[in-house]
Every structure is written in C-alpha cells, then in structure tokens.
Amino acid sequence: MKRFLLIPDSFKGTMSSQEICMIMKNAILKNYNDAEVVSIPVADGGEGSVDAFLSAMGGEKVKITVKGPYFNDIESFYGIIEDGKTAVIEMAAAAGLPLAEDNLNPSKTTTYGVGQLMADAINRGCRKIIMGLGGSCTNDAGTGAAAALGVVFTDKNNNSFVPVGGTLKDIVHIDKSKLDLKGTELITMCDIDNPLFGTSGAAYIFAPQKGASPEMVTELDAGLMHLDKVIQADLNLSLSELKGAGAAGGMGCGMVAFFGSTLQMGIETVLDTVGFDNLLKDTDLVLSGEGKIDSQSIRGKVVIGIANRTKKANVPLIAIVGDIGDDIEEAYNLGVSGIFSINRVAVDYKDAKKRAKQDLYLTVDNLMRFINNIR
C-alpha cells in the first residue's frame, strides 16, 4: 500500500491549503484507491492558521469575548490542538485589519485582545502557545498584549496606561514583575525579517497599508525607536537588530521582549508541531506546493523548508505550484525531486484562477498515472 503525505501552502487568493489537500487526495485515491493519504494543511501564522492546525491535528476551537483593535468587545477565538496543552493563536483574530473595518489608524489600535486570548489559554492549562503573526492593524509592538497579561507601562507622571502606536513615545518605565506565564513556552511564527524601526522597519514598511499617512509613519517609527530604548534600560535587552522584530506592527519585538518567545519560521513551527519527521517514516512520496516557486522561495519558504527534512529522510518530494519562476535550479539541490505547474493551458492569472481547482486535480491525476505506469 502506498503512503502519501500532503503538506501544501495555500495558493494565495485562489485555494486554501485545506482545499488543496482535499483535491490532491481525491486525485491520488482515484489512482491508488487503497493508498494511505496524510494531509497537513500549512499555516503561515496569518488568518486561517488556527483552522489549519486543527484540521491537521484535531482539537478544539475556543470562542471568547475580548477587546478588539479599538478596545471594543468582539467575539474572538483560538485553538487548542489535540494534546490539550498547546494553544494556537492568530493575532489577526483580535487585532486583524478586517476588525478595524473602515477606521484604519495604527496610531490608536491595540493588541490588548491578543493578550486576553493568551491569558485564557494559560488559565485553561495550556503550557505552550504558538502565536501566528500577520494581518494586523496595529503598530503597538505588542504592548497592548503585554498589558493584558500584567506588564505595567508608566508615563513621566508615574501613571500606568495601555500604550498604542501613537503613545509608545510616552512610555518611561516597563515593569514585568506582575507577569506570570505559569511556565508557558511561547513560539512565534514569523516569516519576515524586518527590524523594529528604520526605513525597513514596522512603521515604514507596513503602517501605510494600515492607514498611516507619511507624517504618521514618521511618528510611529519614532515611537518604536523610543520603546527600544526603554526595553534596553528596563529589560536589559537590545532588539533593534533582531530579524523579525518589526513583524505585525512590532509584535515580533513584543513577543520576545515581554514574553521571552522565540521567533521561528512558520513552516518550521508546523513541521515540529505535527511531528513531521516521524510522519515521514514509511512514506513513499510527499506532495507540497505554493502559489509560485521562484528564487525567493529558495530562502526558506514552505517547499524548501519541507525539502530540508525530506532530503535527510531520503523521501522524494514533488512541488505542485501555480507558476514556476526563473533560477529555481537550487531547489533540486535542496531536496525537491520535481516541480510541476498546474497552469496547463498557459493562460494569464485572472483566467488561471477560475480553473485552478480543476487544473490542480488534473495535474496530480496526471502525475499519479505516470508514477503508476513506471512501477
């Protein structure tokens, strides 16, 4: 009996990773009706990450009321995966762009609700939290989340307050003495390497899409720079050069500074959490994929992250993608056995998108027919 392991990323704007797994599985079972097919939808930390983990591992979606981006009450959620001790949180569930609706203003939005999700998970007995960054409408560097969990921020008059992007400049002291994570391990899924501040930092790169004017960007960046100085003085940490510190409005910095989290590539988090190396045992073929594989993919996105593992285990890996860019030969050296595009009739994206599901099925079906005939 053949054993296939499916672990694709989503084709952004076209198919979710769950949909891709289902289509691939149907095509495989048409050709190998007694095959064992294991599906692991990939979560990158953004919207849909909780559902992807629950789909891959089982578990429970917890729904609670927390504060939204403007301190308004909203219905939010997180996941507790099968072991019952690990929570998966996507910060977009409490601080995502859609939650700000038509009122985008990163100088006033908060991650406070994200901290409430963390607190609820800890109080339910979770001792490991996987935090997904992405899709935020905030620029508060996670200070709101920290405040929700007991970190105290005070101003020049020694008054405590919950900072937002526009008031980071008012922080004079940070006190973590009341923070109690109860020994919880935190891992943050972070796939970008932007620093906290500067022209490549959180404000300049990401705040404009959250509604910031050029003047506001300058102010937000100054606030992040000021926060870094206070973190250095009060927490004895220097994070200005930390890759990923600028992710999600500086949330990457906040997760490290306030909670002692590690920042880790999303695919590595997924592979470790699902026990990928053990799943590879007795697997005949791994199918992965992403919307486009190109020279940027070689830097460590989903397919190459998986290839690093399959190569060590001597298991073949095939990438099914929307488009194939130039200069991808290094992918083969890194462990990818073959790369196939689903764009069967070479049409533009707007037309390819309409037939993507059908073409994905036909591409995998074609591949299975080939494999079946060379046994």
What is the reported pLDDT for 192? 86
| Section 29-47 average pLDDT | 89
| Section 150-170 average pLDDT | 98
> What is the overall mean pLDDT for the chain?
93
Residue 61 in tokens: 């979606």
**Residue 15 located in a structural domain:** no
Higher pLDDT, 353 or 218: 218
Instruction: Based on the fold, state whether residues 304 and 166 are members of the same structural domain.
Output: no
Model confidence band, residue 292 (pLDDT cutoffs 50, 70, 90): confident
Instruction: Based on the fold, state whether residues 316 and 191 are members of the same structural domain.
Output: no
Instruction: Based on the fold, state whether residues 259 and 312 are members of the same structural domain.
Output: no
For residues 227 and 174, give the distance between their C-alpha atoms in angstroms, rounded to a whole number.
10
| Section 185-195 average pLDDT | 93
User: Quick one: how far is CA 255 from the chain centroid?
Assistant: 14
pLDDT > 70 in the chain, percent? 99
Model confidence band, residue 12 (pLDDT cutoffs 50, 70, 90): confident
Contact 293, 330 (CB under 8 A): no
What is the reported pLDDT for 375? 62
Domain that holds residue 308: 284-290+299-322+331-345
> Has residue 83 got a pLDDT over 80?
no
User: Quick one: how far is CA 18 from the chain centroid?
Assistant: 15
| Section 282-309 average pLDDT | 88
For residues 360 and 289, give the distance between their C-alpha atoms in angstroms, rounded to a whole number.
11
How far is CA 343 from each of CA 18, 265, 355, 360, rounded to the nearest angstrom?
20, 28, 9, 8
| Section 44-71 average pLDDT | 91
Instruction: Based on the fold, state whether residues 164 and 114 are members of the same structural domain.
Output: yes
> Has residue 58 got a pLDDT over 80?
yes
Instruction: Based on the fold, state whether residues 227 and 316 are members of the same structural domain.
Output: no
Q: Count other C-beta atoms under 10 Å from residue 240's C-beta.
A: 18
Model confidence band, residue 211 (pLDDT cutoffs 50, 70, 90): very high
Contact 42, 302 (CB under 8 A): yes
- Note the pLDDT tens digit of each residue in 100-130: 998 999 999 999 999 999 999 999 999 999 9
Instruction: Based on the fold, state whether residues 244 and 159 are members of the same structural domain.
Output: yes
Query: Is residue 205 exposed (0-12), middle (13-18) or buried (19+ Cβ within 10 Å)?
Result: middle
Helices 49-57 and 266-274: crossing angle in degrees, nearest 10, is: 20
Contact 322, 14 (CB under 8 A): yes
User: Quick one: how far is CA 83 from the chain centroid?
Assistant: 20
For residues 153 and 157, give the distance between their C-alpha atoms in angstroms, rounded to a whole number.
11
What is the reported pLDDT for 1? 73
Instruction: Based on the fold, state whether residues 122 and 200 are members of the same structural domain.
Output: yes
Which segment of 154-158, 238-242, 299-303 scores lowest on mean pLDDT?
299-303
**Residue 19 located in a structural domain:** no
| Section 332-337 average pLDDT | 94
> Which residues have C-beta within 8 Å of that of residue 58, sequence separation ≥ 6?
81, 82
**Residue 7 located in a structural domain:** no
What is the reported pLDDT for 345? 83
What is the reported pLDDT for 300? 64
> Has residue 349 got a pLDDT over 90?
no
Instruction: Based on the fold, state whether residues 180 and 313 are members of the same structural domain.
Output: no
For residues 8 and 43, give the distance between their C-alpha atoms in angstroms, rounded to a whole number.
9
**Residue 115 located in a structural domain:** yes
| Section 194-218 average pLDDT | 96
What is the reported pLDDT for 365? 97
Our CA dihedral for 66, 68, 70, 72, rounded to 10 degrees, sits at -50
**Residue 95 located in a structural domain:** yes
Residue 266 in tokens: 């999303």
**Residue 271 located in a structural domain:** no
- Residue type (1 letter), 35: A
Please state the domain count of the chain.
Answer: 2
In the beta sheet, which residues pair with residue 233? none
Place of tokens 């559902």: 51
Place of tokens 């599985």: 25
**Residue 364 located in a structural domain:** no
CATH code: domain of residue 249: 3.90.1510.10
What is the reported pLDDT for 275? 92
Provide the terminal-to-terminal Cα distance of the chain, rounded to the nearest Å.
13
Instruction: Based on the fold, state whether residues 315 and 232 are members of the same structural domain.
Output: no
